[in-house]
Amino acid sequence: MTNSALGSAPGPDLTPEMCHGSAGEHELQRELGTEERAAQFYQRQVRPYLTQQMREFVARQTMVFLATADGHGACDASFRAGPPGFVQVLDAHTLAYPEYRGNGVMASAGNIAENPHLGLLFVDFTGDRIGLHINGTAQLRPDAALRTAYPELPLETAPGRKAEFWIRLSVDEAYIHCSKHIPHLQPVTPGTRMRRERPKDPDYFTGAPVPQPAPVDLTPFEPAPAPVEPQAPQTPPTPSWGRRPAEAARHSWRRVRRREV
């Protein structure tokens, strides 16, 4: 008897017919009632080799995600990219991809040296929006040795780059990753300028300061006061004693008339 994956009652031992997937996934299928759906998926989608359609799909891809684990089961996920065909389909049961000079850490290859289990995920984001899982056992192979076994290998799988060694994968199973949640991406011309400044790759996640634009003065704008135009000097009124006699007489007569009224 096996322990329940979700902590409920123990389930029955796995049968020889359960050839696909892990003991853990079959246990969860029993507990969650998905055994029938899972069996249909295994029957319709999972293959122990690469079909013709799978081989053609891999040959078109320019990127792949890979999963490895060391001898203790500690996992690592990584990414590889290159021109179409950089992952070579050698036959229906074998493929290989080159390892180029990088940062020298060799995390994925080091894990494979301890634990040969390798999982690949190809995703077509720009065309058919579909994915392909390929799982199997891997070996590290020198460039010369792999070329001796497969003389049809191209001399360069990427312009100007030569493989230091290869990862050769023997396929155990291959199956679809459905398009439901795969985003549709638009490729851009190589060398397209990024929308903002950023640190260089070695400094991106290590706290290097991001170049900042010049500070912007956010003080509210207040227009300058309008210039005051000089006023022309005003001529003071002429007093009555300074007026001409006739004009003074008219003003006197008006005052008299107002009093009479």
Count of positions (residues) in the chain? 261
DSSP notation for 200-251 = -GGGTTTTPPPP-PPP---SPP-PPPPPPPPPPPPPPPPPGGGS-HHHHHHH
Specify the DSSP element, H or E, that contains 35: helix 35-45
pLDDT at 80: 96
Distance CA 211, CA 198 (A): 7
Does the model's pTM come out above 0.75? Answer: no
pLDDT at 204: 81
Distance CA 4, CA 31 (A): 8
Closest CA to 57 of 121, 139, 135: 121
One pLDDT digit (tens) per residue for the chain, 261 residues: 445 555 544 444 444 344 688 999 999 999 999 999 999 999 999 999 999 999 999 999 999 999 999 999 999 999 999 999 999 999 999 999 999 988 889 999 999 999 999 999 999 999 999 999 999 999 999 999 999 999 988 887 788 888 899 999 999 999 999 999 999 999 887 766 666 677 887 788 887 665 566 666 666 666 667 777 777 777 666 655 555 555 555 555 455 445 554
Reduced to 3 states, what is the DSSP secondary structure of residue 149? helix
The backbone region for 178, taken as left when phi is positive above 0, alpha when psi lies in -120 to 50, beta otherwise, is beta
Place of tokens 């850490």: 105
> Which domains are seen in the chain, by residue range?
1-46 (no CATH), 52-185 (2.30.110.10)
Closest CA to 138 of 175, 97, 77: 97
pLDDT at 195: 65
pLDDT at 15: 44
Hey, what long-range contacts does 63-67 have (CB within 8 A, 24 or more apart)? 63/122, 63/123, 64/97, 64/120, 64/121, 64/122, 65/120, 65/121, 65/122, 65/123, 66/108, 66/118, 66/119, 66/120, 66/121, 67/118, 67/119, 67/120, 67/121
pLDDT at 14: 41
DSSP 8-state class, residue 47: B
